[in-house]
Amino acid sequence: MANAISPPNLFQKVVLKYPIHRAFDITIFFLLLSLLVYRLLYLSNHGFAWVLALLCESCFTFIWVVNVSCKWNPVEYKTYPERLSQKAQDLPPVDMFVTSADPVLEPSILTVNTVISLLAVDYPADKLACYVSDDGCSPITYYSLVEASKFAKIWVPFCKKYNIQTRAPFRYFSSELILTGSCNYSLEFQQEYNKMKDGYEELASKIKDAVEKSMEWDLIGDFAIFSNMEHKNHPTIIKVIRDQNEAGLSEALPHLIYVSREKRPEHPHRYKAGAMNVLTRVSGLITNAPFMLNVDCDMFVNNPQIFLHAMCLLLGSKNERESGFVQCPQYFYDGLKDDPFGNQFVVGHKYMGRGVAGIQVPFYEGTGCFHRRKVIYGSCPDDIGNQAKRLTPVHGDLSYEEQLRIFGDSKEFIRSAAYALQGKENISPKNLPNLVEAAHQVAGCGYEYGTSWGTEVGWQYGTATEDVLTGLMIHGRGWRSLFCTPDPRAFLGCAPRGGPISMAQQKRWATGLLEILIGRRSPIVTTVTARLQLRHCLAYLSLLTWGLRSIPELCYAVLPAYCTITDSSFLPEVHEPAIYIYMALFLSYVIYTLIEYHETGLSIRAWWNNQRMARINAMNAWLCGFISVILKVFRISDTVFEVTQKDQSSSNDGDEGRFTFDASLIFVPGTTVLLLQLTALIMGFRGMQLSDGSGLGERLCSIMVVICFWPFLKGLFAKGKYGIPLSTIFKSAFLALCFVLLAKRA
């Protein structure tokens, strides 16, 4: 059910009603409280296992409270792009950022399709500029973009002439509609279609040949600058691939600019956050658009009108404060059936995403986000001004000395930043070569020293999840954000298709989120010292506690085995009335989550896969992330940013979706937990007295844990990539044996 609220001109806020969900939210909350009261009342009659269960269940109750707070007021925004011309005759310019870090892990053909789809959006070409950051400093990436710009000359007019909706060519030509039933298409369209297909196949073939030749090809002409380049030791390279001001172009296309920032071994390059700040400064000198879109290299445009939808939210708000940035949810194409790795987040976007939209604090997800440039520069909303407590106010009337301290010593960039902060018309790029020369300075690896980049302005440093921290700082200054969910979906990317890749991604997220939580810019600190509201703080805590959740999850999973080994208990006996609290809690949660998946159109198998992977991720990836942060805190080792491997292929292999393993330590905790449960079950069933049901609950819980870790159980006996390496099994067996011996002595 939905209830519309007085729509603005360009968008309509719709309040969503989920009465059944709210009933379950309240029911489960009171069941959790009842369980805690029961634990406290009988605390003196039990030992260590009972106390540990109480602590774990207290954590689960807190997590439930913050999650319910996030989902309690769901809304969605319906946009009206057809009304946009009535509101703004002259659409504002937008700078588009595409980030790529490794041409091997992120194939150039993916980047090319993303760039082409951006060049072909339904938005005035003279209002757009596309900047591609290549942190790999790869001549292959640059060559691919040069060839892509040539193909875009014919592809973009074709898309707009025939109103093609899928504007990433690899998706368009792989769809089922390829001229079947050709009577529905004109002869002219068929001829042009064949021309486009041949052109794209030629483009893909050229990129494939360049990749196979690798660095053996001749680096001459435009490519000479890449000769003798090292991945982490090279000067700045900025190349204007496409200049819309060039004479003789029959079809206008946006600017296309290649940027590879300077890197030196002695200078930290700050990973993606550093690349985004360089793109921000370079674009500020060249085009200085008031709005910026950033996408990952694998996130192509799926809805060609997404810029218009976003502008409805950015321009239609009664107060700029309400739309500091507009986030589009991250969806994926060719997702594996039933989401075997639990990484497609469809249910999360529907309920959690709409819930945080209701309190106007959608998280910045690092891709598919439209920003206001002045917000990235540290500006506060007009109605807050300099009252953002301890956060440094950044505005257009700063003194020159303050501007130098904040933005660096480029006079040209300081001038452009002042324009952006004052909301003046952007500086039109009339002489790109001269502007590019000035841009080399701000892309240097030493430019940020002594400035506020990464701390007060720009993308934030100090964490592997720079996107979440950047969004948190924006919300801390008093800005709000909006969730844009048009139909069809705005952007589509590729989700990891293997166990190690998916787990490594989850580990990086858990590591970065925990770094934020324990840092000086945590949401708790920001609530006290800045303008983050309490419910906004709770929303961030629901996300940032991923790493910490691994501890109660692991302890609770190990408790059944511990109780079986030590002949103790943490559950009520089957004849005690308190057992009904557990049964009601379990059934309520199962029914509640099943309803969510059913309403989203997903299968029961997808539900089970996500429940199973939630346990696996928590006790493996999140736990490793937690340990990484602990090692960083004690200065034993530093956290490492790991680039997620992107895979464009959609293989029909029957084994696709089957769990794979490698020798990484990330699989040791899960294997250890599994071996512990198997050991406990053998010991338990051998000595269990079936007549009184003593210990039955603990045995059933151990069986449930084994079922959750079923992929690991199969991995114990499988071979190759589907089997757990012997080194991992030996490490886990040693840890399990140590646990059993210590438990026996306790």
Annotated binding site for UDP-alpha-D-glucose: 106, 135
Tokens of 154: 């014919």
Beta-strand pair 291-296/94-100: parallel
Question: DSSP readout, 580-615?
Answer: HHHHHHHHHHHHHHHHHHHHTT--HHHHHHHHHHHH
Asked if residue 28 lies in contact with residue 592, where contact means CB atoms within 8 angstroms, the answer is yes
Packing angle of the helix pair 726-745, 668-687 (nearest 10 deg):
50
Rounded alpha-carbon distances, angstroms, from residue 551 to 11, 546, 623, 697: 43, 10, 7, 22
- Which residue in 250, 77, 218 sits closest to 154, CA to CA? 250
Asked if residue 112 lies in contact with residue 203, where contact means CB atoms within 8 angstroms, the answer is yes
Q: For residue 336, what is the DSSP state?
A: P
Tokens of 578: 């308190």
Half-sphere exposure of 273 (CA within 13 A, CB side): 24
Phi, psi of 234 (to 5 degrees): -160, 160
How far apart CA 138 and CA 140 sit, in angstroms, is: 5
Of all helices (H) and strands (E), which one includes residue 86? helix 84-87
Residues annotated as binding site?
A: 106, 135, 272, 296
Residue pointed to by tokens 């004109």: 186
Tokens of 316: 């239609």
156, with CB counted inside 10 A (0-12, 13-18, 19+), is buried
Residues annotated as binding site for Mn(2+)?
A: 272, 296
Contacts of 186 (CB under 8 A, 6+ apart): none
How far apart CA 270 and CA 463 sit, in angstroms, is: 9
Tokens of 555: 């302890």
Of all helices (H) and strands (E), which one includes residue 381? none
- Which residue in 737, 744, 621, 619 sits closest to 729, CA to CA? 737
Question: DSSP readout, 402-457?
Answer: HHHHHH-S-HHHHHHHHHHHHTPPPPP-S-HHHHHHHHHHHTSTTTTTTS-BTTTB
Torsion of CA 615, 616, 621, 622, to 10 degrees: 10
Asked if residue 279 lies in contact with residue 258, where contact means CB atoms within 8 angstroms, the answer is no
Q: Kindly name the residue from 102, 339, 467, 647 that is annotated as catalytic.
A: 467
Q: Kindly name the residue from 95, 135, 339, 647 that is annotated as catalytic.
A: 135
Q: For residue 497, what is the DSSP state?
A: -
Q: 359-397: buried (b, 16+ CB within 10 Å) or exposed (e) per residue?
A: bbbbbbbbbbbbbbbbbbbbbbbeeeeeebeebbebbbe
Contacts of 744 (CB under 8 A, 6+ apart): 565, 566
647 is catalytic: no
- Measured in whole angstroms, how far is the alpha carbon of residue 38 from the centre of its chain? 39
In the chain, helix, strand, coil percent, each to 5? 55, 10, 35
126 is catalytic: no
Tokens of 216: 């053996």
Q: 14-40: buried (b, 16+ CB within 10 Å) or exposed (e) per residue?
A: bebebeebeebbeebeebbeebeebbe
- Residues classed as catalytic: 135, 467
